[in-house]
Each structure stands twice: as C-alpha cells, then as structure tokens.
Structure 1
C-alpha cells in the first residue's frame, strides 16, 4: 500500500512536461523616453487551448500606442505593446484586474534614470502602486517568494533534490549532499546574474535532465560501491553547478532591479533554499513514516519512486535533445 501511494506521489509530481518553466506570470513596464514606455507580459493559462490576451492595467494618463502583439506558448500567452504616458507615473496603479491561471505575477517597473521597482502581485492584491523610490524590503520580499516558487514549481530541480534524498537517506549524509548542491548552484547563479558566466540554455536543460536520470538509476540499482553512493556530495556539487544555470535563466526572465542586485540575488537564493529545505524534510518524513509503518516496504517504495523519477527524467532528456 505504501509503495503504491509513494509511486503515485512521485508520478504526480513528475507529470508536467514543461519542466523548469517559471510558473508565475510577469509584467514589465519599462520607460524608453519622457513619454514612451514598453509593456511586456506573460499570462499563464489555466488550461491548454485558445484564450484571450488580457492587457494589464496601466497608470492614469497612459494608453497603448497600438494593438498589442500576441505570441502563444503551450501554457501561456506572451504580450507586448508600446505605451504613451502623458506625465509622470509615480503613484499610478499597474497590474491586472484579476490574476488568471493561478499563481502569482511578478511586476517590474523600470523608469529611466531611476531604480527598478519589483512587486509580487497576488489574487488578493493584483495591482501595485508605483513609488517615487522603491524600498529594499519590497525587493527582498518579492525575490524571496519568487525563489520559493521556482524550486517548488521547477519540476526538474525538484525531482533532482528528491532523487538525491532517496539515494542518500541518512541524515548527516543528506545534509552534506544538499549543502554541496546549494553551494554549487549559488555560485553559478551569482556568476551568471553578474555577467561572469554563461552557457546556452538547451545543453544546460539536457544535462539537468541527465542528472535526474543518473541519480534515479543509482538509487534503483542499490550498488553501495558506486562512486555516486560513496561520494554523493561530489556528484551533487558538480550537477549543482549546472542546475545553477537553470536558476539563473529563471531569474533572468524576471530581471534584476538596478541598484538592488545583491539584495535580489541573496533573497532569491534564500527563497530557493527555503523551498529546497521544505522538500528535503517532506521526503525524509515520508521515508520515516513508511519505515515505521512497515520497514520491509521501505526498499520497494524507494525503488518504485526511483523508476518513476527516472522515466520522467528520461522523457525530458530525449525531448530536450531532439525536441
């Protein structure tokens, strides 16, 4: 019974095929000149299929300069438009009448010659007020929540962490392996965000999928003498460097606020770690629960979950190599 439940859980978590897609929508309102602005936004879809493009709410005195351009993705619509504003936008409200498709929406307002402002729009607060000067707390809060959301909804990173816990299992060994993964992807995330490092996205996504397959295979095999079993923190560190490029790609899609880059980087990374810690603790609690209910079922449960994770990772790997 426990094996079946764990397998269903693993398959459910692995279901979305669009791995590592940053689930929250975003709006970018950027000033180009005294009167001209550009508006770009991503509108997540509640379900696949045709949908109308919802134009964000603009501050009073601002209007579209023409028809918005619409581009369709499997799970979202991408919109862009030119905007003309008659005067200053300070104190104006920008956002959405209502958030559709679930999740939060990240808003980025970029006035000329002034700090970028970042907001997290929610179902209860879908509009934000543009301030004359953004607060540091606003940046910390917004990017921390974005980091939590990315690890919990970035399915490939999530499955890698789950597979790592299933492979190691023991408390101190799990702590070392997860810490190595954290240090590695933090280094890469900072390097890419600061313009010091860079790799093409497609090979990075393929290696991330490969890392999931490798850990799943090692867990299912149960060979205690393998390098991955003996040195899991080394493997976690090496693959963590690659996963960092994935985190950086997600952060780059939102953008970093000028003048608050260190705060945004640190708070995003802290959010990732908070979400990652929650996942690790949840998996360890499930494993301990299975062990206490029926210890003989623990090994088959882990093996079944590993198969589910490995199949999902293999699908992503093939899709990213030939898709």
Structure 2
C-alpha cells in the first residue's frame, strides 16, 4: 500500500506545475430574442494565456467594442452581440480547444433565470442553442460531477497530499478514517466558502496547501512511529483538509454556480471530487500491485526517502512560487 513512488513519478512526469486546474468559461446572458451578452474567461497559467477564442456565425453582429480585463490571474472579455435571425439556433465554437489543457464550461441563461450548463472540450468543441428551456437537474448534476472529478484528478497538489496520506496511514482501517476525515473537513469549508458564509483570500491558502504536503513529506522522511501524525493521521488529514476545501472553493468560484440550482451544483461538484479521490487511491493500489510483481525485492524502507523527497521538493517549489505573489 505504501509503495507509491513509481505511480507518483509517472504522475509528476506529465507536468510538475499542473496544479492550476481552473477551467475556461463562457457565460451567455440572453437579453431578448435577438441580443445577448458574452463573458469569456480564460485562466492565465504560469504567466501564459491559452490561445482560445469564442466564434459565432457570420450573421452575428458585435454591437460595441469588446472590453477586456485581467483580474485574479485570468483574462476576461465582455461583449454584446445581435443576431437578427434569433438567438435560438445560434452555434458557438471554441477555436483552439484542440490544443487546450482543460475543458470549457458553457452557461447560457435568460431573463427568466433559465439556464443551460454544459462542458465543451476536444470531443465537443461547439454547441447550438436550440432551446431556452433550462437543462434538467440530472444534466446539471452530471456536469458538475464531471468537473469535480476532473479537478481532483488534474489538481496535482491535492493528489500529492492524498498520496502522502495513503503512505502515513499504515493500515487500511487507518486509511479509511484518514480519507474520511479529509473528506468531511474539505466538504465543510467548500460549502462555507462557496456559499459566501466564510471566505478567506486564496493566495495564502494555496501556499499553506503546498506547506501541508511539505509537512507530510517531512513526517514520512523522519518515520517516527510514535509521532502524532503517524499515530493519528486523521488529525492531519482533517486539519489540512479544511484548507484544501478553500482551494476547491476557489476553483468552483471560477466555474460559477447556476442561480436556480446552486445547491445541486455545489453538492454534485463535491461528489465529483470524492469520486476522483477514490479513483486515485484505487490507482495507487493498482500501481502498488504492478510494482510488487515487477520488483519483488522492493521494500517500503527503500521507498520512504524517495517518496518523501519527490513530494517534498515539488511542494516546496509550489510554496515558494505562491509566497512570491504576496
């Protein structure tokens, strides 16, 4: 169970800086039968903005010059359009999505607060607004579950934290308690932050999330069996889980929640995070089995320092980068 080094190294080799999982988003607000407003947001990752563009049919007229801003490390574009043949039947396309590292969340709403929410990606780069009737609650739930799964599986900082929790748990019983504590804690702060009941700045939170991985990596390196962290890993997972919940909420705030189904979307996103977390833990177990078959002489003690140094070094880089923005 503890032999996770190879799985971690494979994950890390994809992109050491792949901790920014904010999706791009398109928000269309339908004003009347022929006019609509557009808000187009593209995250800036590591100082680079992806080359993406929203395109409409030739009969769509721009009513005024576009307004652009860079806010909270994201490029935001505002525009108003008119289509004499009507908004119904309008097709939009995301150019450049074939080179994108993530999905694009599309939300279409009208004056009656009816909302269509869907995800655009390489397999589905365009969408046709065929109806102004809101999407079903089931489809909204599936959309946000998918976003939650994607966030946890691509959010490398959260995965490294979970991997360290698996390592320090020691037994399956402790692992169950540890993961449960992490789930309860981050679910609580995700709800509090997403609903606006308790909000704190995300920059220090992200720095402390990186610090939480450094702390666990240090505990793995010391390997003091009588330490509080190794004896009661649920205390560590619950304490730092509160901060990870604020991190999840920051991503969710970038995505946005549909007004009419805010609670459903919030619950679905959290479910998606948990599903992704469980999938990752299962992947670690499968990786352990494969490594055990290939390298039968490999021991836990041989892996302890490499796992600690790999996780701790990457998290230290993140922590320095995140502290540098203050």
Shared fold per TM-score greater than 0.5: yes
1:119 matches 2:140: no
Aligned residues between the structures? 316
Where 2:98 maps in the other structure, the secondary structure is coil
- Residues 77, 238 of structure 1: alpha-carbon distance in 2 compared, 3 angstrom cutoff: closer
Correspondence for 1:274 = 275
In the alignment, which of 287, 309, 312 is matched to residue 311 of structure 2? 309
Q: How big is the alpha-carbon RMSD for the aligned residues of Structure 1 and Structure 2?
A: 3.0
Q: Which runs of 5+ in 2 are unaligned?
A: none
Where 1:96 maps in the other structure, the secondary structure is strand
Q: Choose 125-134 or 304-313, whichever is displaced more.
A: 125-134
TM-score using structure 1 length: 0.86
1:98 offset after TM fit, Å? 5.8
CA distance in 1, matches of 2:192, 2:253: 12
- Residues 68, 186 of structure 1: alpha-carbon distance in 2 compared, 3 angstrom cutoff: same
1:77 offset after TM fit, Å? 7.5
CA distance in 2, matches of 1:111, 1:59: 20
Q: Which runs of 5+ in 1 are unaligned?
A: none
User: Could you list the per-position Cα deviations for residues 61-103 of structure 1 after superposition, in whole angstroms to 9, with x for gaps in the alignment?
Assistant: 6432344456689xx9835131122465234333425623233
Correspondence for 2:81 = 84
Correspondence for 2:19 = 19
Could you tell me whether the CA contact under 8 Å between 1:38 and 1:81 is conserved in 2? yes
1:99 matches 2:97: yes
User: Could you list the per-position Cα deviations for residues 171-219 of structure 1 after superposition, in whole angstroms to 9, with x for gaps in the alignment?
Assistant: 1211111111111111111111111111111111111011111111111
1:128 matches 2:130: no
- Residues 159, 96 of structure 1: alpha-carbon distance in 2 compared, 3 angstrom cutoff: same
Where 2:25 maps in the other structure, the secondary structure is strand
1:58 matches 2:56: yes
CA distance in 2, matches of 1:52, 1:10: 25
Q: Choose 30-39 or 264-273, whichever is displaced more.
A: 30-39
CA distance in 2, matches of 1:311, 1:110: 45
Correspondence for 1:320 = 322
Could you tell me whether the CA contact under 8 Å between 2:110 and 2:132 is conserved in 1? no
Correspondence for 2:176 = 175
Where 1:100 maps in the other structure, the secondary structure is helix
TM-score using structure 2 length: 0.85
In the alignment, which of 272, 293, 296 is matched to residue 294 of structure 1? 296
